[in-house]
A and B are shown apart, each in its own frame.
Chain A
């Protein structure tokens, strides 16, 4: 009996320690183009984690047929009703190549295969694109988006301030930001994403992600994309989520 009590005490102490370590689980680039496939990924990841996760949604509908658009809207509504958190992920994710960009912006486009929509654009276009993203969400989405994640995490020097005027949270590759009493507060958070990692290095990247979650510090973001289910595989992704959920408490951006 005494022995059982000791074990219970140890388990309680471990649970308390683990509760201090938190992580965010986010599925990126959920859009009208891929929702029929990716909605199952999201549900499976949430089931492995034990609760709803955050979803970074691309709000643009492009040239999708109205029937598909309607189905996508219903899917978004279901996710919101089930407690999933919505983050906006650019306006259409893909960069407009006609916009004038800084040298860093052009470099970011080269690295990202023209996906870094906000990279290196000026203040006026940043504002316009942000408003477009929000307008698209208001037209098609349900409820309030918690925050904004620039595609490929490439922004520009105006984006953070402007995004935090509209949204509660903004993130880049190095951290998550929130406006508290007029000042921007940074939360330490590493990005653990696999979509840009070359296939031969994916095993090492997964070990690195698990190790980073095992060690203390930061509310790291574990990010999955549609592509990861083809390169890493569903079994490994779900097992990774289960394993990390035993190391840290899963939270959403709004819990920060």
Chain B
């Protein structure tokens, strides 16, 4: 029983880590996007 629990926890943790990693890649890309605001236009 405890062995089954440990293995399940290990699998869930690994899956969570992989999902978080891919989400991290997505967010990193998203946060680096170039977007121009109206305040940028004012400067021109």
Contact = CB atoms under 8 A, between A and B. Distances in A.
A20 to B, nearest CB: 22
B24 A207 contact: yes
B3 to A, nearest CB: 31
Contact of B37 (A44, A206, A211): A44
Given A235-B31, A236-B32, A243-B30, 20 more contacts: A44-B37, A47-B37, A47-B38, A47-B39, A48-B37, A203-B28, A206-B27, A207-B20, A207-B27, A210-B23, A210-B27, A211-B20, A211-B23, A235-B34, A238-B37, A239-B30, A239-B32, A239-B35, A240-B31, A243-B31
A203 B23 CA distance: 12
A179 interface: no
Interface in B12-43: 20, 23-24, 27-28, 30-35, 37-39
Interface in A143-184: none
Contact of B31 (A43, A44, A239): A239
Contacts of A203: 24, 28
A44 B40 CA distance: 10
A63 interface: no
Q: Which of A43, A204, A210 has the most CB of B within 10 A?
A: A210
A39 interface: no
Nearest to B37: A47
Contact of A207 (B23, B34, B38): B23
Contact of A44 (B24, B33, B34, B39): B39
Q: Which of A207, A210, A235 has the most CB of B within 10 A?
A: A207
Interface in A199-232: 203-204, 206-207, 210-211
Nearest to A232: B31
Nearest to B30: A243
A228 to B, nearest CB: 13
Interface of B: 20, 23-24, 27-28, 30-35, 37-39
Interface string A39-59: 000011001100000000000
B40 to A, nearest CB: 10
B12 to A, nearest CB: 16
A31 to B, nearest CB: 23
Nearest to B24: A207
Contacts of A204: 24
A242 B35 contact: yes
A211 to B, nearest CB: 6
B31 A236 contact: yes
A126 B18 CA distance: 47
Given A207-B20, A207-B24, A211-B23, A238 B35 contact: yes
A206 B31 contact: yes
A239 B31 CA distance: 5
A44 B33 CA distance: 16
